[in-house]
Chain A
């Protein structure tokens, strides 16, 4: 398996998305907030004539986004026919994976283990491979923002 990966920093950690899940990387324009939606949904924004749901990844995983920088770009992914823009600390690079995603004994910590599809070795070093559907589903209601 020699997959291309989009590398990004989320909450200070290096994470990876499968490149085939990523449709583009966009500059984030105006975001329309969505009142009464879960807090990890930053709002909706327009990409061409499509409406994207903007996900604040740090909050979706369970961290306070105020502690990290915010990239002005966002990763656009499509999950179950809906498009999402993922806001992260920084979008780094595209690189290729070395080997299969694997697990680390002891897991990645409670927040990370929930959204992780495993650890993957890349050209740029190890990264946490993000499982998009769980990331986008957000935390269960009981998880308060850290």
Chain B
């Protein structure tokens, strides 16, 4: 029986969610038959299910709603706004009752009769939101707004539903668009941990296979197993994901109710509902998003009359979009309201002692705006019942930071406000860096890691001021914590010779907190980085406050995941005012010390540890496989719209769908070097031992006791380098004939030109200036050109003239149209700036 009941509640809720959008759409257009049918089905099903159980009140409510809707369907009654409101009220009540049933509580008596009475034809409208719109509108002295205005605004004009596409489209497709089944989360977790086990077993096997040496008969199937396992793991991870739509679908109703309460008109634009997010994460961001929307509608948006006075549309626009970029999701909430008042925020912050007058004077507008996330801050003079309830923005930020996210705000006065939330894709799988201290490993979420610096590097300038250790990072003094001190790790006890490593020998992990504060964490070693699956820790361990969870390394050994924010907070490193205390110090001293050759260490696809001089490295790029072109003789890749030669690719298929590339430059040429892994930047302090066997290697040297091959930059660029081919090529105007398009065009293109897009109007084609195309060079047929000259036209581009006959006639500077060499030469001449102007 309990199971049945749970199913009933679950089904009711699911249908409610599915019909939420339908209800709003129906309100926009009460005569819409399709919507009525959906809602009718809902109440009908509820009524039917109630028959199974003893829920007389639910049955009675759904019965009257069903009756009223049935009348509408048969045309006996006209659906009006009063009726819509009454049906909505009943549906809300059904939802509340379902909640109460699930919680095993008695739903408070009474109130049902009023709801039922409100559905009677000609009844007084029930006290719900749309009513408030009428009153509010009347109070504002503007013309009465139809009760369904906010909802219709949500969906834009019902005929031209083009601009608010995602939300509307979803409704049109109906809830059946995506088939799904219901699974208990712990079953998913079990499957997931099973797959994790498989990965561990595979790693073990891989280890043993390596020991046994190469065995082609086994290695092949083993590779296959590895690929399959990676696929399965990926799929399982996706199982935990949910479309952010589930969160979005409730928002139109929220905004509708809010705007109706406040007498404002708001249109919601939702975008990116198909972005997927961890289920848990969706729950975490639900409150923050709701809160920001409340704020936006309550404080941000002006009343319709004010908006009209300001020359804006009466209907305010609230747009919410979600986008995935790499391992983070950014959610942008923007409104076109009055914007944030910098002065008021600053005044308030000074009044509450958050900042001093002097600090305020030196703060940028952007900085001042971020103050709204400080604890104890609220600009609303009168706390309304909308945004006054619930949490402040400080809690919003805190909650987001707890899961490794961040939030910031930008705003233009009179134009609007824009909140940007960055949240990690999932709570359970994050990119992590494994570090070691005193022989014990710990994981740090990669999102915090700004840079890793070996502290023997002179640039680091490790000092102690009092008890506090400081390092210099990009010209700033940054506080430094020793992981061993933070965790009170015991000194190495095993062998007396192994004295504790001095801080100046350790590796610094520079961490950036979500608030923007930097600090360094000194660890003994860096191990690896990769995706880690985070498992929760027992409450007794969580209480210590230093750990966010645990994870298993590939060998099955558990490691603790550090809670960076809490560690920083425990040492008082999280405060926005602090950053200003640390002034940048003299950079020149650092530069003077820098005599050693600095190099970027990496591992190439052959597994070789290599180094390349840091001066050659322009940037580290990550390119998708699709950007790489293997069709030509030598591989190439497109980076930022430029085609560059690519070297260092592995033989055979590419290992993943993303590739790490070093973008090397000698000042004019550029080339890309594919690498398996980027290790670190280091100083090459060891002696350089010239290597003669491989022309590509300048020398071998020692870094941390291991050999590293230093790449010979000269050889590299001599052999592979070429000036980047700019994709935005010079434009060439071609004559308006088929011959020019199909035969001349490819030739011009191969000479490095783009073809000008000429209007097809032939009258314009003879007037290059009138046509408005700005070609860098133009090719004209001789006769056309003569005609143009005769018309006294002004050519502001170099012109190449083509003639139809091989022999030059009349001595004019023209080229026979099949004289390929002369044509290419002319094009190249024009390109290098020496274009002939006839």
- Bound together, the chains give a CA A137 to CA B543 distance in angstroms of 11
Against B, the Cβ 8 Å flags (1 = close, 0 = not) of A66-85 are 00000000000000101010
The contact of A136 among B536, B540, B556, by CB within 8 Å, is B540
Interface flag for A91 (CB, 8 Å): no
Query: Is A50 located at the chain interface by the 8 A CB criterion?
Result: yes
In the complex, B547 has a CB within 8 A of chain A: yes
Q: Are A41 and B200 in contact (CB under 8 A)?
A: no
Chain B residues with Cβ below 8 Å from A145 are none
Q: In the bound complex, what is the Cα–Cα distance between A36 and B545 (angstroms)?
A: 9
**What residues of A have a CB within 8 angstroms of the CB of B487 in the complex?**
35-36
Question: Is A144 interfacial (CB 8 A cutoff)?
Answer: no
Known A-B contacts A44-B558, A51-B550, A51-B558; A34 and B541 likewise in contact (beta carbons under 8 Å): yes
Q: Establish whether residues A45 and B540, one from each chain, have CB atoms under 8 Å apart when the complex forms.
A: no
Q: Which of B196, B200, B546, B557 has the most CB atoms of chain A within a 10 A radius of its CB? A: B557
CA distance A118 to B234 in the complex (A): 49
Q: Does A32 contact B (CB under 8 A)?
A: yes
Contacting B at CB under 8 A, from A16-63, are 29-30, 32-38, 41, 44-46, 48-51, 53
Residue contact B541 to A46, C-beta cutoff 8 Å: no
Q: Which residue of A lies closest to B533 (CB)?
A: A49
Binary interface profile of A, 119-146, with partner B (CB < 8 Å = 1, else 0)? 0000000000000000011100000000
- In the complex, are the beta carbons of B538 and A84 less than 8 A apart? yes
Asked whether B197 lies within 8 Å of A32 as measured between CB atoms, the reply is no
CB pair B538–A49 under 8 Å, yes or no, is no
**Contact partners of B556 in chain A: CB under 8 A:** 29, 46, 49
Mask: chain B, 406-426; 1 = CB below 8 Å from A; 0 = not: 000000000000000000000
Q: How far is the CA of A32 from the CA of B556 in the complex (A)?
A: 11
Option from A35, A36, A51 in Cβ contact (under 8 Å) with B535: A51
User: Is the pair A53, B540 in contact by a Cβ cutoff of 8 Å?
Assistant: yes
Q: Is the CB of B540 within 8 A of A30?
A: no
B495-537 contacts to A (CB < 8 Å) = 533, 535-537
Q: A49-B193, A137-B540 are in contact. Are A30 and B557 (CB under 8 A)?
A: yes
Q: Is the CB of B544 within 8 A of A46?
A: no
Interface residue? B539 (CB, 8 A): yes
Q: How far is the CB of A146 from chain B (nearest CB, A)?
A: 20
Return the CB mask of B546-566 against A: 1 if under 8 Å, else 0.
110011100011111000000
Q: Cβ of A138 and Cβ of B540 under 8 Å apart?
A: yes
Partner of A48, one of B193, B441, B550: B193
**Bitwise interface map of B from 186 to 198 toward A, beta carbon under 8 Å scored 1, else 0:** 0000000110110
Which residues on the B side are within 8 Å of A35 (C-beta)?
A: 440, 487-489, 546
Residue pair A44, B537 in contact (C-beta under 8 Å): yes
- Inter-chain contact B197/A48, CB cutoff 8 Å: yes
B538:A32 contact, CB within 8 angstroms: no
CA distance A35 to B483 in the complex (A): 11
Find the B residue at minimum CB distance from A43: B558
- The residues in B between 63 and 100 inclusive whose CB is less than 8 angstroms from any CB of A are none
Within 8 A of B (CB), among A66-119: 80, 82, 84
Q: Can you name the residue of chain B whose Cβ is closest to the Cβ of A83?
A: B538
B197 touches A34 (CB 8 A): no
Mask: chain B, 423-456; 1 = CB below 8 Å from A; 0 = not: 0000000000000000011000000000000000
Which residue on chain A has the smallest CB distance to residue B438? Answer: A35
Q: When the two chains form their complex, are residues B539 and A46 in contact, meaning their CB atoms are under 8 A apart?
A: no
Contact B488 A82 (CB under 8 A): no
Asked whether A33 lies within 8 Å of B538 as measured between CB atoms, the reply is no
Q: Which residue of B lies closest to A84 (CB)?
A: B538
Q: Mark B711-736, 1 if CB is under 8 A from A, else 0.
A: 00000000000000000000000000
**A105 to B484 alpha-carbon distance, docked (Å):** 49
Given the interface pairs A51-B537, A82-B539, the reply to whether A32 lies near B200 with Cβ below 8 Å is no
Chain B positions within 8 Å of A32 at CB level: 440-441, 557-560
Q: Is the CB of B546 within 8 A of A53?
A: no
Instruction: Judge whether B557 and A46 touch: CB under 8 Å.
Output: yes
- B537 contact set on A, CB distance < 8 A: 44, 51, 53
Nearest CB of A to B485, in Å: 11
Q: Across the interface, which residues of B come within 8 angstroms of A46, CB to CB?
A: 552, 556-558
Q: With A45-B558, A51-B552 in contact, is A34–B535 under 8 Å at CB? A: no
Beyond A51-B535, A53-B537, A84-B538, is A34–B547 a contact (Cβ under 8 Å)? Answer: yes
A47 to chain B, nearest CB (A): 10
Which positions 188-224 of chain B face chain A at CB distance < 8 Å? Answer: 193-194, 196-197, 200
Which single member of A30, A45, A48, A82 contacts B538 (CB below 8 Å)?
A82
CB-defined contacts of A138 to chain B, threshold 8 Å: 540
A10 to B668, CA, bound (A): 75
Taking CB as reference atom, which chain B residue is nearest A138? B540
Q: Which chain A residue shows the least CB distance to B200?
A: A49
Q: For residue B559, which residues in chain A have a CB less than 8 angstroms away from its CB?
A: 32
Which residues on the A side are within 8 Å of B539 (C-beta)? 80, 82
Residue of B at shortest CB range from A137? B540
Interface string of B122-163 (1 = CB under 8 A from A): 000000000000000000000000000000000000000000
Contacting residues, chain A, for B533 (C-beta < 8 A): 49
Interchain nearest-CB distance for B799 vs A (Å): 72
Question: Do the beta carbons of A49 and B536 come within 8 Å of each other?
Answer: no
Q: Whole-angstrom distance between the alpha carbons of A29 and B555 in the complex?
A: 12
Chain B positions within 8 Å of A82 at CB level: 536, 538-539
Which A residues touch B552, using CB under 8 A? 46, 49, 51
Q: Which residues of the other chain, A, contact B200 by a CB distance below 8 angstroms?
A: 49
A37 to B440, CA, bound (A): 15
- A residues neighboring B (CB under 8 Å): 29-30, 32-38, 41, 44-46, 48-51, 53, 80, 82, 84, 136-138
21 pairs, CB–CB < 8 Å, chain A vs chain B: A32-B440, A32-B441, A32-B558, A32-B559, A34-B541, A34-B544, A38-B543, A38-B544, A41-B540, A44-B550, A44-B560, A46-B552, A49-B197, A49-B200, A49-B556, A50-B193, A51-B537, A53-B541, A82-B538, A82-B539, A136-B538
Contacts beyond the supplied A49-B533, A49-B552, A82-B538: 17 A-B pairs with Cβ under 8 Å: A29-B556, A32-B441, A32-B559, A32-B560, A33-B440, A34-B547, A36-B546, A38-B543, A38-B544, A41-B538, A44-B550, A46-B556, A51-B537, A51-B550, A51-B551, A53-B538, A136-B538
- Identify the 3 closest CB pairs spanning chains A and B, nearest first: A35-B487, A49-B196, A53-B538
